[in-house]
Amino acid sequence: MAETSACFDRLIPRLFKYDLQELEHMKNLLNSCSLLILIFSASCRSGNDRFITDIKLPVIEQVKILRYEQALFSINRSHLKEELLRIQPNFRMFLDGDLNDTLNLSRIANFLDDTLLQHTFSDCRKAFDDITWLETELTQAFAHYHYYYPDRALPDVYTYISGFDYENPVMLLENHLLIAVDMYLGDTYLRYKNLGLPGYIIHRFNPEYVVSDCVKELATTENDPRQSGTYLLDLMLAEGKQMWFCKAMIPEIHDSILLDYSAENLQWLEKHEPEVWAFMIENKMLYSQDLQNIKKLIGEAPFTSYFGNDSPPRLGRYIGWKIIESYMNRNPEVSLQELLRSFNAQEILNQSGYKP
């Protein structure tokens, strides 16, 4: 279970200040949810013929998502232990602890009795009552994954309520894909604003991001960023590889979802991409390890400060995607697996012929 413990370390969030009364409640809720899991264990499309069509896909079993939040919140709480034992076989990823331990039972009871969580569950039940669409889209994505990695076991998929763990809306733990449905209730959902998060983060909390988030999490098993190096170019290409992987698994994904850009962002990039690349070259940024430069070009923000308030954020990620796209188009013999195993950033750049 060491791997699980290491993965669960990622649940610890950064806490943002906001002055509504629910602040402390939501902070404590997020911590208690994390502890509970620890205890119980668009418009634009980029055309590319490198990606396989559905006609070539292997046939796999339809994904069936297991609904932990529904099973948990529907139990008879007056017989808590017996009810938990009843659902435990289907949800050992969440209920792998000792159910004879009164402390564990007390924590679960507190979780279920929390009024904020109860309201959240009600909202999730309305928003995700019918998830046939999600099962269908994940089946398609997994079929692509099985095409590229036929020896890999496909993950089991669960939904659950995380207590607004905005940093980990999807997690892949020991081949279990966990989807926090409370992080996909729409960017107008009131309680997201109570988290104190800016709009450029909240806009991702929409259902159309679920499948791409799942695939990007799956990419972490094949694309280890720790081997990529620490120069800006290394980090840019690591991001580009992740997006290439995502595009391979979801060939019809819209650029607005793949790149996480608005239509206005995409229009800006169409006009200014050469300017961005020239700026990086002239300022010798590609082999910079300056954390401030990296943060401005890779990190989350409303815009990229080097280019003004109208510019899109994360321009380094975008350029990394364009370099990888150019590299793969110019080198059709390179497979997805070979791309993800290649960590020579300078060689990829040289062979990409990238010239915006």
Tell whether 161 and 298 lie within a shared domain: no
| Mean predicted confidence (pLDDT) in 278-304 | 95
| Mean predicted confidence (pLDDT) in 192-200 | 90
DSSP-assigned states of every residue in 65-116: -EEHHHHHHTS-GGGHHHHHHHHGGG-TTT--S-TT-HHHHHHHHHHHH-HH
What is the reported pLDDT for 34? 47
Can you say whether residue 164 is alpha, beta or left, with left for phi > 0 and alpha for psi between -120 and 50 degrees?
left
| Mean predicted confidence (pLDDT) in 149-163 | 96
Length of the chain: 356
- Write the pLDDT tens digit of every residue in 50-103: 788 777 888 999 999 999 999 999 999 999 999 999 999 999 999 988 999 999
Last residue of a domain, one of 219, 242, 273: 219
What is the reported pLDDT for 9? 38
User: Could you tell me the residue range of the domain that residue 158 belongs to?
Assistant: 2-219
Whether the Cβ atoms of residue 323 and residue 236 lie closer than 8 Å to each other = yes
Total Cβ atoms within 10 A of residue 285: 20
Tell whether 153 and 175 lie within a shared domain: yes
pLDDT confidence band for 24 (50 / 70 / 90): low
Tell whether 31 and 83 lie within a shared domain: yes
Tell whether 135 and 260 lie within a shared domain: no
Mean pLDDT of the chain: 88
Q: Which pairing describes strands 66-67 and 156-160: parallel, antiparallel, or unpaired? A: parallel
Tell whether 154 and 202 lie within a shared domain: yes
Tell whether 197 and 259 lie within a shared domain: no
In the predicted model, is pLDDT for residue 243 greater than 60? yes
Chain-centre distance for alpha carbon 347: 29
Tell whether 323 and 255 lie within a shared domain: yes
Would you give the end-to-end CA distance of the chain in angstroms?
Answer: 47
Last residue of a domain, one of 219, 241, 270: 219
What's the structural domain count of the chain? 2
CA dihedral 307, 310, 314, 319 (to 10 degrees): -70
Whether the Cβ atoms of residue 141 and residue 132 lie closer than 8 Å to each other = no
Tell whether 92 and 166 lie within a shared domain: yes
| Mean predicted confidence (pLDDT) in 1-29 | 42
| Mean predicted confidence (pLDDT) in 107-134 | 96
Whether the Cβ atoms of residue 269 and residue 262 lie closer than 8 Å to each other = no
What is the reported pLDDT for 195? 87
Tell whether 138 and 235 lie within a shared domain: no
Total Cβ atoms within 10 A of residue 315: 27
Sequence-separated (6 or more) residues with CB below 8 Å from residue 66? 90, 91, 156, 157, 158, 159
What is the reported pLDDT for 21? 47
What is the reported pLDDT for 50? 77
- Write the pLDDT tens digit of every residue in 295-346: 999 999 999 999 999 999 999 999 999 999 999 999 999 999 999 999 999 9
Tell whether 133 and 230 lie within a shared domain: no
Tell whether 66 and 169 lie within a shared domain: yes
Give the percent of the chain with pLDDT over 70.
85
Tell whether 291 and 206 lie within a shared domain: no
- The reported pTM is 0.85
